[in-house]
Chains A and B, each alone.
Chain A
Amino acid sequence: MVRVTPANEGEAMKTRKYRNILIQVAFFGCLVSILGGFALTANHNLVEQGITSGFGFLERSTGWDPGFTLLEFSIRDPYWWTMLIGLTNTVVVGYIAMALATFLGVFLAVMRISNNPVLSRVALVYIDIIRNVPPILQVLAWYALFSHFPAPRQALQFGDHVFLSGRGLYIPTLNIGDLGLAIIAIITVVVIGLIIWISFAQRFFFTTVKRKLTMVAYSMVTGIVLIALTIFGFMPEDTPLVSNPVLKGFNFQGGLEIAPEFTTILVATMVYGSAYVAEIVRGGFLSVDRGKIEAGRALGLSPWVVFTRIQLPLTVQNIMPMMTNLYVWLIKATTLGIAVGFADMFAVTVSSINQSGQTLEFILLLAVAFWVLNGLVVFIMNRLNDRMQAKH
């Protein structure tokens, strides 16, 4: 340490400046050389194994079946299509699990906050158990449960057309092909998104409850009409419209088959996420400033108005950053699917690497995909958060 006196102050500043530049150059140089050395060695080793770098392999066909798929698949499909299948599986499971975890979690939080001792204890036990058992163990335990249901011949039956067996859950479906079902799913998601947007929107057009309700009704009617048109357009000519699962031979024919792998990941992520949502919501609710609640009461507002207009909005504001982290975490948690053979993005990547040897390229694609997925969640949540904060 150079002792600073008025005489050598300028000198000391200069020395420090040079030293700082030197440190930064050294640090940055180290980073670049580590990364560069890694890339060069990796390239050298891969070339030695006869693997060419670049993304041309994405057009090659895979030759294996990823198992559970939502999109249509044949083993001659190229790698980029397989990756897309993995991405779709991750997104669909991740987002459905997120939504379900939020509903269940809020419900649990309400139980936990309520002044009913029994409800509160039940929620506490649930939350403690779920949060203190490793997620991977939960996934495996759910899978053991779902795949140990009886064989199709002794399948559990709910009503006339819903069957649960070790091979999966079978429910009736519409006989309109995968494309028709996909279109209906997209319309449903868009309409739900629209309704949520209308409910939160601050635009002049949506200022009154009446206008909001009208718009919600309009979008619902439009959605229903569009769905009806889709069904009409894709309606089969010779087979009945509704396809029911029927036991034929050793398995069910017809209907929609929901594989136990899918159910496992969905249920595990939902259950695990809900315990965390409950804790976050409870924490946010309890950290609402007592003074604001008391001020509301002092103004003579009814308990209901205090709850809906003061406690609830402030709770939502409090929990937004933590919910963002949780959602990102839940999306990442779907990678546990590889433990039970669910073809999520990570599982597909691992198989692709084993088959093609294009290690670095696939890892890069995987990293970019997760970066985009997480970024999307963070972006949407931040936009919502800005809206919430702007109310005050």
Chain B
Amino acid sequence: MTTQSATNPELSVANPLTSLVAYLKKHPLQSAITALVIVLLAYVAWGIFEWAVLKSVWNSTDGSLCREEGAGACWAVLQARWRLIVFGLYPFEEQWRSGLACVAIVITAVVSCIPAFWRFQRLSILWIAGFSIFTILMSGGLFGLSFIPVRQWGGLSLTLFVFATVCILTMPTSIALALLRDSKLYFISKPTQLIIDTVRSLPLLVVMFVSAVVLPFGLPDFMIGEKLFRVIAGFTFYVSCYQAEIIRGGIQSLPAGQDEAAKALGLTYAQRMGRIILPQAFKITLPATINQIVIIFLETPLIVIIGFFEVLASGAAAFGTAEWGIAAEEVYIFIGVIFFAFSLTLSRYGASLEARLARSDQR
């Protein structure tokens, strides 16, 4: 086993057939493994192809064709129930608003990946604008749109709403936690460390459950608020504890001379942090931050367990009737593909960013 790259120089000789024969003679074991894996792959791929394409049912209004003997994947469920999966319990006539809101938040996210927008002001304006459009479209009550309470939000747009809110709120909270944790003052850094370590040792589900069910007991009535916002607050706090440690790592990896030079120039704490330390720490931790955003995205569907009608619950409702009861896997595959597409794009973007930062450091 070596760490050489996958492409083998021996294969790039002029005549492919002779070079292939030479390769087979030289590496009989490798060739045997490759052949075996290809045969296995072909077998599995054919099985999936047969199920998903050849024997699949695309049109069946009541799912009866799917229940016939030998039927493959039942994609008809998506055609019949996709609005339920994507929009949840949102009023039927107003679902275009929900769809448009999703598009708005996705566009905001895509635009904020462009380096030209990486200024504090530009990013803030962009996100405040995108988020306002999303909220106005979803909840209405303005510009002649009918008011729709948060309780009726559901499906993919609820998932995106929770995801976007948590991402936005995490940034300031995690910076605050990181600075408190990194403080030179004992009675500030130690209690913060205790809080961060405790939260990090708990599963996210427990934190969500506590903020949904336990928190109302200990809060004065005017602070209890909507359950969804309590869960978002708990989720944000949980993620912030992880993000704070990432930012602190970035701060500590800076050479001590940076802070000392700033001090020697007589800059205040706020100036040192805001102008010298944090901007550099952000640059170093950018790949880890994007990784954290991917994790937030993948953990968001957990709110289904606390009882929200987000995309997994609406998916379960889609196959929850007698006629579509057999199509659970198809619905899960559909939802999985949506998540996979977003998540892979985001993590690939993070990887390319990391490579670019590494290149710019070498220069």
The chain A residues found within 8 Å of chain B, CB to CB, are 1, 3, 20, 23-25, 27-28, 31, 37-39, 41-42, 45-46, 110, 113-120, 122, 128-129, 131-137, 140-141, 144-145, 148, 285-286, 303, 307, 328, 332-333, 335-336, 338-339, 346, 350, 353, 359-360, 363, 366-367, 370-371, 374-375
Establish whether residues B302 and A115, one from each chain, have CB atoms under 8 Å apart when the complex forms. no
CA distance A333 to B3 in the complex (A): 33
B1, B30, B316, B326: the one within 8 Å of A307 (CB):
B1
Q: Does B321 contact A (CB under 8 A)?
A: no
Q: Judge whether A23 and B185 touch: CB under 8 Å.
A: yes
CA distance A24 to B219 in the complex (A): 25
Tell me which of A1, A28, A135, A144 contacts B329 (CB under 8 A).
A144
A308 to chain B, nearest CB (A): 11
Q: How far is A328 from B202 in the complex, measured between Cα atoms in Å?
A: 10
Separation in Å of the B60 CB from the closest CB of chain A?
19
Partner of A38, one of B7, B202, B219: B219
For chain B, the count of residues having a C-beta within 8 Å of the partner chain is 59
Inside 8 A of B205's CB, which chain A residues have their CB? 335-336, 338, 346
Q: Which residue of B lies closest to A49 (CB)?
A: B217
Chain B residues whose C-beta falls within 8 Å of the C-beta of A363 in the assembled complex? 206, 210, 214
**Contact partners of A328 in chain B: CB under 8 A:** 201
Chain A residues, CB < 8 A from B339:
132-134, 137
**Chain B neighbourhood of A307, CB < 8 A:** 1
Known: A113-B3, A133-B340, A346-B205. A140 touches B312 (CB 8 A): yes
Residues of B near A39 (CB, < 8 A) are 218
Q: Do A141 and B329 touch (CB < 8 A)?
A: yes
User: Top 5 closest A-B pairs, CB basis?
Assistant: A42-B218, A38-B218, A332-B203, A144-B328, A132-B343
* Binary interface encoding of chain B residues 179-207 relative to chain A, with 1 for a CB under 8 A from any of its CBs, else 0: 01000011110010000001001111110
Instruction: Provide the residues of chain A in CB contact with B209, threshold 8 Å.
Output: 346, 350
Q: Shortest distance in angstroms between B34's beta carbon and chain A's nearest beta carbon?
A: 5
Say yes or no: B3 contacts A285, CB within 8 Å.
yes
Closest chain-A Cβ to B343's Cβ sits at a distance in Å of 4
Contact A145 B201 (CB under 8 A): no
Closest Cβ neighbor of B34 among chain A residues: A118
Beyond A41-B219, A113-B3, A132-B343, whether A24 also contacts B188 by CB under 8 A is yes
B8 x A115 contact (CB < 8 A): yes
Do residues B302 and A136 form an inter-chain contact, with CB atoms below 8 A? yes
Contact of A141 with B332 in the complex, beta carbons under 8 Å? yes
Q: Which residue of A lies closest to B2 (CB)?
A: A115
In the complex, the answer to whether B217 meets A46 with C-beta atoms within 8 Å is yes
The one of B33, B187, B198, B217 that contacts A45, using a Cβ cutoff of 8 Å: B217
Bound: A31/B188 CA distance, A: 10
- A29 CB to closest chain B CB (Å) equals 10
> CB-defined interface of B253-294 with A at 8 Å, one 1/0 digit per residue?
000000000000010100000000000000000000000001
A115 touches B6 (CB 8 A): yes
- In the complex, A39→B214 CA distance in Å? 11
Q: A41-B218, A114-B1, A118-B38 are in contact. List 19 more A-B contacts (CB 8 A).
A: A1-B268, A24-B186, A24-B188, A27-B191, A41-B220, A42-B214, A116-B37, A117-B7, A117-B34, A122-B41, A133-B339, A134-B300, A135-B298, A136-B301, A333-B203, A338-B305, A339-B305, A359-B213, A370-B203
Given the contacts A113-B1, A118-B38, A132 and B6 also touching, CB distance less than 8 Å? no
With a CB–CB cut-off of 8 A, which chain B residues contact A115?
1-2, 4-6, 8, 30
Please determine whether A110 and B187 come into contact, CB atoms closer than 8 angstroms. no
Q: Which of A27, A333, A374 contacts B187 (CB 8 A)?
A: A27
Is B335 an interface residue, CB under 8 A from the partner? yes
Given A116-B34, A370-B206, verify A134-B187 contact (CB < 8 Å).
no
In the bound assembly, the distance between CA atoms of A39 and B215 in angstroms comes to 10
Residues of chain B within 8 A (CB-CB) of A46 are 217
Selected from A27, A110, A144, A367, the residue in CB contact (under 8 A) with B202 is A367
> Could you pull out 10 A-B pairs where Cβ atoms are within 8 angstroms?
A20-B185, A31-B191, A133-B339, A133-B343, A134-B339, A135-B298, A339-B305, A346-B203, A363-B214, A367-B202
Quick check: A110 and B206 within 8 Å, CB to CB? Answer: no
A336 to B240, CA, bound (A): 21
Bound Cα distance A116, B23 (Å): 12
Most A CB within 10 A of own CB, among B8, B206, B213: B206
Chain B residues within an 8 Å CB radius of A141: 328-329, 332-333, 336
Given contacts A122-B41, A371-B201, contact A110 B30 (CB under 8 A): no
Contact B191 A132 (CB under 8 A): no
Q: Which residues of A contact B204 (CB under 8 A)?
A: 332
Residues of B within 8 A of A370 (CB): 201-203, 206
Which chain A residue shows the least CB distance to B8? A115
Q: In the docked arrangement, what's the CA distance between A45 and B214, Å? A: 11
Complex: A367 Cα to B207 Cα, angstroms: 10
Within 8 Å by CB of A132, from B33, B187, B328, B344, lies B344
Query: A20–B294 Cα gap in the complex (Å)?
Result: 39
Q: Does B304 contact A (CB under 8 A)?
A: yes
Q: Which partner residue on chain A sits nearest B297 by CB separation?
A: A134
CA distance A211 to B197 in the complex (A): 43
CA distance A3 to B209 in the complex (A): 51
Whether a CB of chain A sits under 8 angstroms from the CB of B299 is yes
Q: State A363–B300 Cα separation when bound (angstroms).
A: 22
Complex alpha-carbon distance, A113 and B218, angstroms: 53
- Residue B347 lies at the interface, judged by CB distance under 8 Å to chain A: yes
| Chain A residues positioned under 8 Å from B1 (CB to CB) | 110, 113-115, 307
Residue of A nearest to B300 (CB): A134
Asked if A134 and B298 sit within 8 Å, CB to CB, the answer is: yes
A134 touches B4 (CB 8 A): no
A197 to chain B, nearest CB (A): 26
A359 in contact with B206 given A116-B34, A134-B299, A136-B305 (CB within 8 Å): no
User: Is B203 touching A137 in the complex (CB atoms < 8 A)?
Assistant: no
A118 touches B298 (CB 8 A): no
Residues of B within 8 A of A31 (CB): 191
Q: Which of B38, B217, B294, B347 contacts A41 (CB 8 A)?
A: B217
Bound CA–CA A24/B328 (angstroms):
55
B332 nearest CB across to chain A (Å): 4
